Amino acid sequence: MNSKPVAIITGASRGIGRAISLRLASEGYDIAGIARTPDSDCMLSLQAETEKQGVDFFPVGLDVAHTDLHDEAISSILEHFGRIDVLVNNAGIAPIERKDLLDLDEETYDRVLAVNLRGPVFLARRVAREMIWMKDQVKDYKPSIMFVTSFLAYTSFSNAVEVCLSKAALSMAALVFADRLTEEGINVYEIRPGLIKTELTSRSKYKFDKLIAEGLVPQKRWGTPDDVAKAVASLARGDWSFSTGTVFEVSGGLNIISI
């Protein structure tokens, strides 16, 4: 069994997931990076960057929506490392084509909900079962599960209703997991990013540049993936060990309602 703690990060190959992987590697975590394509250039470069920090990076190919493959993925991680200390449910998608609510189609809706909600819920369930067993096997074991949601969990956006619904439900998932797992010694947190500069938000850059300048974000800048990664690292370290079930806003004050 590994002497180092092990973190699983879904959607690890780019954006927020990549930044989280690198930040936790810098904190001494071995990394199990989950992505749909484990041998992509993005994953290979991430592996090289993490391993420069003296940790082990284990790439896992998994579309989190395919819940029937979760057992195989987690088993491979346990076979490689022998333990799991942190799960960061970060993987998420937006519809390829944004449509008005009245033009919503079932296929796109089902795909977004499968990746953003169904997959993370069942992956967390699978990992939680291992963590419960592991707490008697690993000395000084301090497991945690994190769900990365979005400001769209509480903000209406009628051209991305699938994302809004999935993130709102994932926010509740974090709460019920925290409720159930606190008796097992497993802390659960919700990380709620605001406008983060990634490939996913690049399509709306001009629109949000203007809104940020006009005061939509009180701190008047885009967030960065590393802003989110720093919050994850702080939670993983146990800095907030008496705060299970808490929502950690990483939004520059976007959640402030000003009249």
Let me know if 95 is exposed, middle or buried by CB neighbors in 10 A (0-12, 13-18, 19+).
Answer: middle
3-state secondary structure 33-59: EEECCCCCHHHHHHHHHHHCCCCCEEE
Instruction: Give SS3 for 247.
Output: strand
User: What is the torsional sign of CA 136, 181, 250, 122?
Assistant: positive
Residue 257, domain member (yes or no): no
For the chain, which residues score pLDDT lower than 70?
Answer: 258-259
- The tally of domains found in the chain comes to 1
Residue 255 counted as domain residue: no
Give the pLDDT score at 258: 67
Residue 1 lies in a domain: no
In a domain, 256, yes or no: no
pLDDT confidence of residue 211: 87
| Domain annotation covers residue 258 | no
* Range of the structural domain that residue 67 is part of: 6-250
CA distance 17 to 1: 25
Measured N-to-C along each axis, helices 15-26 and 225-237 cross at an angle, to the nearest 10 degrees, of 40
Give the pLDDT score at 259. Answer: 59
**Residue 219 contacts by C-beta under 8 Å, 6 or more apart in sequence?**
252, 253
Of all helices (H) and strands (E), which one includes residue 88?
strand 86-89
Enter the pTM of the model: 0.96
**Lookup: tokens for 103:** 């033009």
At residue 97, the pLDDT reads 82
User: The domain that contains 38 carries what CATH number?
Assistant: 3.40.50.720
